[in-house]
Amino acid sequence: MTAVPTIGVLALQGDVREHARALEAAGARTLDVRRPEELDQVDGLVLPGGESTTMWRLARSFDLLEPLRKRIEAGLPVYGSCAGMIMLADRIRDGVAGQETAGGIDMTVRRNAFGRQVDSFESDVVLTGMGDVPYHAVFIRAPWVESVGDAVEVLGRTAPVPEGGPNAGRIVAVRQGRLMATAFHPELTGDFRVHHYFADLVRRTTAEE
């Protein structure tokens, strides 16, 4: 078992430094990934938040999209937050014309589902496998998951507020095998449980290979 895995952060845009800091707090080495040869050097990868259409276009420009798809298919552990969740979705709604993803998680994600920047909010979410204390999650132009396939485990939902409403009970954290995603930004909090969970997943994967 590799005690200190190397986990890359896709460094095309988004909260790269914040994710790296959280991963290092979880006991991992980090590497900024901008080229296919850097992708080849990591045991796991984080796809940060940002703007999903920009991330897709930059991944194409840097010749990373196809290599990323191939490594996902080969079993690379990957965690995506916000825009990264969209990048891991097999299907997206409200995307721009021709928008592509790396895919890998059998889910349909709606882009900007919770609204625009001015609609950003914080909410407590109970996350399966990450303790009983609710996670105080930060949502910024966040997506939500509209549907999942049978192989996808739902790790967290927004609270079912008494009066209901369109944002209540939405799927905001999922896992399928070695892939996981959240609609929120755990790197913007001091609570690194999500990154610890992912780092442990990478360690277990490395030990199995």
**Residue 43 in contact with residue 65, Cβ under 8 Å?**
no
How, if at all, do strands 6-10 and 29-33 pair? parallel
DSSP 8-state assignment for residue 7: E
At a CB cut-off of 8 Å and minimum separation 6, what does 78 contact? 44, 45, 46, 47, 72, 88, 102, 104, 178, 179, 180
Catalytic entry in 66, 187, 195, 208? 187
Catalytic entry in 24, 82, 163, 208? 82
Catalytic entry in 66, 185, 208, 209? 185
**Residue 178 in contact with residue 205, Cβ under 8 Å?**
yes
| CA angle in degrees (0–180, nearest 5) for 93-177-159 | 55
**Residue 141 in contact with residue 120, Cβ under 8 Å?**
yes
Give the chain's length.
209
Short-list 143, 140, 144, CA closest to 121: 140
Short-list 76, 27, 44, CA closest to 192: 27
The answer to whether residue 82 is catalytic is yes
Catalytic residues: 82, 185, 187
